[in-house]
Amino acid sequence: MPALIVGNWKMNGLGDDIAEIAQMAAAGAGNGARSLWIAPPFTLIDRSVIVAAGAVKIGGQDCHVKQSGAHTGCVSAAMLADLGAGFVIVGHSERRRDKAESDADVRAKATAGCAAGLEVILCIGETRDQRGAGQTNDVLTSQLAGSLPDDAEALIIAYEPVWAIGTGLIPTLDDVASAHAHIRANLVARYGPAGYGVRVLYGGSVTPANASELLRVSEVGGVLVGGASLTAQSLLAITAAPP
């Protein structure tokens, strides 16, 4: 299975930045060795789908739990799919922190994304204090128990230690391997054999300089990239990182 490189643009990008996605698509980023997905802001999804022309999968950074209704300013998974999006990110630590999203909220969003026909990238991860207290595995187990949807189909997990996001810090490779092995064990316990088919990504200060070593870690099926995904030059360097 090709390693999956997912770029999360967060609240970045205006119309002129569509040119970056066009460059990614023109470079043939999804060339069989690595698959490239981009989650631009909602305002750029439809234009991104057009310029990506199928070479790069485009997705949303979040969705509402309901398909429609009186929820001013919100975007449903069905709306994302209607724009041509193929996936949605749910449970990112910034939303868990800034919007006080609970595991139950994340589970509902994951369920909504699956119901709309989207692949779902579900984020989990511990804070620095939790890691320092030796609670990483307990936190991951708790978040998975509360956040996972009923079905493993179309599900992807992203392990993002909160303290590594945007800080330039990353866990040791052994720590990454340990966390991913723990996540895999939880997925198999929850879903049975189907749990082996759920891809697990690593996210948190991924750069062209460290992508190769991270992608070689056992059970790492790809990476979720933040700031380094904003330009074609940077993200394509990650996509082209030596295996």
Tokens of 44: 């750029």
pLDDT score for 32:
60
How far is 140 from 22, CA to CA, in rounded Å? 36
- pLDDT mean over 170-188: 97
Catalytic residue, chosen from 20, 64, 92, 101, is 92
91 inside domain: no
144 inside domain: yes
Q: In this model, does residue 33 exceed pLDDT 90? A: no
10 inside domain: yes
The domain of 145 spans 3-86+100-239
73 inside domain: yes
Strands 34-39 and 57-60: parallel
pLDDT score for 172:
95
Q: Structurally, how many domains does the chain consist of?
A: 1
Whole-Å CA distances, 162 to 43, 104, 185:
26, 19, 21
Q: Does 160 qualify as catalytic in the annotation?
A: yes
Model pLDDT for residues 124-172, shown as the tens digit of each residue: 999 999 999 999 999 999 999 999 999 999 999 999 999 998 888 889 9
pLDDT score for 166:
85
Catalytic residue, chosen from 64, 160, 180, 182, is 160
Count other C-beta atoms under 10 Å from residue 113's C-beta.
32
Question: What global pTM score does this model have?
Answer: 0.97
How far is 240 from 243, CA to CA, in rounded Å? 8
Q: In this model, does residue 62 exceed pLDDT 60? A: yes
52 inside domain: yes
The CATH number assigned to the domain holding 176 equals 3.20.20.70
